[in-house]
Structure 1
Amino acid sequence: MANTVEIGKNKNTDLTAPTPQNTPLSNAPIQREPLSRPTVTTIGEEDDDDDDDDEDAAAAGLPNAAIQSMIQDKLNGLVGRSSGYIESLPDEVRRRVEGLKGLNIDHQKIEAEFQREILALEKKFAQRYAPLYDRRKEIILGKVEPTAAEVESGETVDREDDEDEDEDEDDDEEDDEKETPRSLANISIKTDAPKGIPEFWLTALKNHVALSEVITERDEEALRHLTDIRLRYLDVPANAAPEQSLQGFQLDFVFDAAKNENFSNEVLTKTYFYSDQVGFSGDLVYDHAEGTTIDWKSPEANLMHRVETKKQRNKNTNETRTVKRLVPTESFFNFFSPPKPPTDEEEEDEEELDALEERLELDYQIGEDLKDRIIPHAVDFFTGKALHYENPEEWDDDEYGDEDFDDDEDDDEDDAPRGGARGQDPQECKQQ
């Protein structure tokens, strides 16, 4: 397995588009592989005839699942094999093909330079965003109040969104008269009103589809004390050693340490390092990630483990004792212990490698989403508005009919997302 994972823009593997009418109900057994080379495969007819006859005879008494598995295994063995077409070309033609490969190397060098320029531009504009993020933090913590002009700008956006929704409604439906919301720009702030915006970041994170699946009820207590998430690009000195010259970015999760009963860290960091190469599509690729070691205040406060209590009885004395041990458990805070890509010397079986690759891709995608979406548009994740823009088709009932869905009324409770993946209402998060 490669030690780098390409950064895919706008990936969203958690949301699934509706099934088109002409799509088979079951998945085809042939899996599409990444484009890397022509993969037209050739099956030697003379050599394989006997094997095919044996397999047909064996398959006659097998259930469908076993037959499908056997076919899939055979097809997987053909993936990536050369068809022999390139090798059959005249030397003159193959020489030209090799020349095109040489041109492609020069193209990749320009792509790498292009990506470095984009990264430099991101760093430049990060400095311009910084005052806005500082202002946002002050408002969230209740240290300052937004100005009337800022509130009026926000209300203008709300009205425009409402107008867009009204235009999208069916013309046959009767339009109920909607009252114009009362402006909040010039109201007087009561002295006994809540300060700032309670549980802002907890609510915003729970409205991210992937993060909502890993935030547990135990995690929520600690995340209520999350006061800010900051982005910082890594500064690489011009004379840095090769192992210290990787570009990347750092995410800082700032907590109110005085109120946090789980760990003593004021800031938890997650750092992503880019490789010095580009992927097939021209995007940067990740090299690896590093996270903070969390200083838990006690074993019971460790959200990444649960305490398992077990009683043991001595066979000779009949005395009993209680043994406690920590068992790893699902938690948002596993995010700060990222999976490590295997080295060339390590031997892993294929299933373990596939599972590790999935974990790496998810970890990198969450980091990219925090950098590009959640931090810049935190208020839209807090209100749930961001979910609508993630996949608008999922909210449009006119695109497809009821025949696209199976009735499953008895399993509604079991199928409901744990963390509010379909929108965490800010009112549901109560300050404690």
Structure 2
Amino acid sequence: MADNSNSEDVPSDSFETAKTDKEKLTDQVMQNPQVLAALQERLENVSHTPSSYIETLPKAVKRRIDALKQLQVKCAHIEAKFYEEVHDLERKYAALYQPLFDKRRDFVTGDVEPTDAESEWPSENEEEEKLAGDLKSKVVIAEKEASADEPNPKGIPEFWFTIFRNVDMLSELVQEYDEPILKHLQDIKVKFSDPGQPMSFSLEFHFEPNDYFTNSVLTKTYKMKSEPDTTDPFSFEGPEIVDCEGCTIEWKKGKNVTVKTIKKKQKHKGRGTVRTVTKQVPNDSFFNFFSPIKVSGDGESLDEDSEFTLASDFEIGHFFRERIVPRAVLYFTGEAIEDDDNELEGEEEGEEDEEAENDPKV
């Protein structure tokens, strides 16, 4: 027979006490406006989410919403065609830019010397602009006499290498042993895919003869897609890079900076003798840029590190195409970097302002 003697030890008013405490807590919550407002907001968010609202609609309305989604998919396909035509325009205008870029290369390499008219640029020195005619002429003569004693190197030495050093995104990839190679870089070109071909663009890195490899041009091709995904058409936001392909660098003997030789001791299991073997292992280098990770074509997903590396590669390729190649001289002088920093600061300030507006405490 069960022993109920323990129940007699429990005070008869314990449940009443617990109930009273709960009521007191409820009263405290109801009397605190901030706590009550936060609780009410949470309840409203739970009960008024878009998906929960849609579920409450009649079937006839849901049917019409599905029809709107079909229209939205058709809009996405039209948008894809729009970007294909934009790509055609990019190709057209690239041909107009190229003669200017070719002249830029000639000035950089020193193959052509700019004329006085081509090299004329307003001075940033305000005091110089205020000089009177005779005095200004004397200053110009003095400057010419002084410049006659200065060294006159060919072209603009280390033009592209300086850009690599100035841009954080690139300088992070460059190792000390990459630097002497990059000093031989003479030009970078962007080439767009031909009409009728799948959308893509290539970066061409032109090098003068050097002691490191026999290639005169190293290429990197970025393949793009400008069509909505069949499984998620609403995610389409324009062309995106989906894969990239590098090239084989013909390294001269002992000059391959993308690998390093290590020595390792091996012990023979049977005889117990020890021998030293050498083998090559991958080495950090900018020139790994031309041996990118391949996107798996068999449906297998990449690991997290590989996905991050590939996304960074795509970002760098896009930055070369959109920023560095079109505005090279401004990245050389640092002016474009200041503009980029100002844009980032403006975006951050805008985000802070938006947060402040949404914060009821401010």
Structure 1-normalised TM-score?
A: 0.59
- SS of residue in 1 equivalent to 2:250: coil
Residue identity matched to 1:262: Y
Q: What is the CA distance between 1:222 and its match in structure 2? A: 1.1
- 2:156 is matched with which residue? 197
Distance 1:184 1:94 in 2: 82
Cα pair distance change 1:304/1:114, threshold 3 Å:
same
Kindly provide the CA deviation profile for residues 299-348 of structure 1, in whole angstroms up to 9, marking residues without a partner as x: x4222122112244557767654321112122111111122223454265
Asked if 1:266 is matched to 2:216, the reply is yes
- Identical aligned residues as a percent: 40
Distance 1:202 1:139 in 2: 16
Structure 2 portions without partners, runs of 5+: 1-48, 127-138, 229-233, 350-362
Q: What is the CA distance between 1:392 and its match in structure 2? A: 1.7
Q: What is the CA distance between 1:125 and its match in structure 2? A: 1.0
Q: What is the CA distance between 1:252 and its match in structure 2? A: 0.5
Asked if 1:254 is matched to 2:222, the reply is no
Residue identity matched to 1:140: V
Distance 1:314 1:346 in 2: 39
Cα pair distance change 1:102/1:268, threshold 3 Å:
same
Distance 2:293 2:206 in 1: 23
Q: Is the 8 A contact 1:151 1:184 kept in 2?
A: no
Larger Rg: 2
Asked if 1:221 is matched to 2:180, the reply is yes
Larger relative contact order (C-alpha < 8 A, sep ≥ 6)?
A: 1
Cα pair distance change 1:341/1:145, threshold 3 Å:
same
Asked if 1:123 is matched to 2:91, the reply is yes
- SS of residue in 2 equivalent to 1:220: helix
The structure whose residues are more often helix, as a share, is 2
Q: CA RMSD in A?
A: 3.1
- SS of residue in 1 equivalent to 2:120: helix
Kindly provide the CA deviation profile for residues 68-108 of structure 1, in whole angstroms up to 9, marking residues without a partner as x: xxxxxxxxxxxxx9954433421111111111111111211
- SS of residue in 2 equivalent to 1:322: strand
Cα pair distance change 1:309/1:210, threshold 3 Å:
same
- 1:340 is matched with which residue? 294
- SS of residue in 2 equivalent to 1:391: helix
Q: Is the 8 A contact 2:200 2:222 kept in 1?
A: yes
- 1:377 is matched with which residue? 327
Q: Is the 8 A contact 1:152 1:185 kept in 2?
A: no
- 1:42 is matched with which residue? none
Kindly provide the CA deviation profile for residues 275-311 of structure 1, in whole angstroms up to 9, marking residues without a partner as x: 141583632112211111112223x422212211224
- 1:45 is matched with which residue? none
Distance 2:162 2:271 in 1: 54
Structure 2-normalised TM-score?
A: 0.69
Cα pair distance change 1:140/1:316, threshold 3 Å:
same
- SS of residue in 1 equivalent to 2:223: strand
Asked if 1:288 is matched to 2:243, the reply is yes
Distance 1:124 1:184 in 2: 47
Cα pair distance change 1:332/1:106, threshold 3 Å:
same
Report matched runs for 1:29-428 at 5 Å: 83-153=51-121, 156=122, 159=124, 193-237=152-196, 245-257=197-209, 259=210, 261-277=211-227, 280=235, 282-298=237-253, 300-312=254-266, 320-346=274-300, 352=303, 354-392=304-342
Distance 2:101 2:175 in 1: 27
Residue identity matched to 1:378: A
Q: Is the 8 A contact 1:381 1:387 kept in 2?
A: yes
Kindly provide the CA deviation profile for residues 10-44 of structure 1, in whole angstroms up to 9, marking residues without a partner as x: xxxxxxxxxxxxxxxxxxxxxxxxxxxxxxxxxxx
Distance 1:203 1:90 in 2: 65
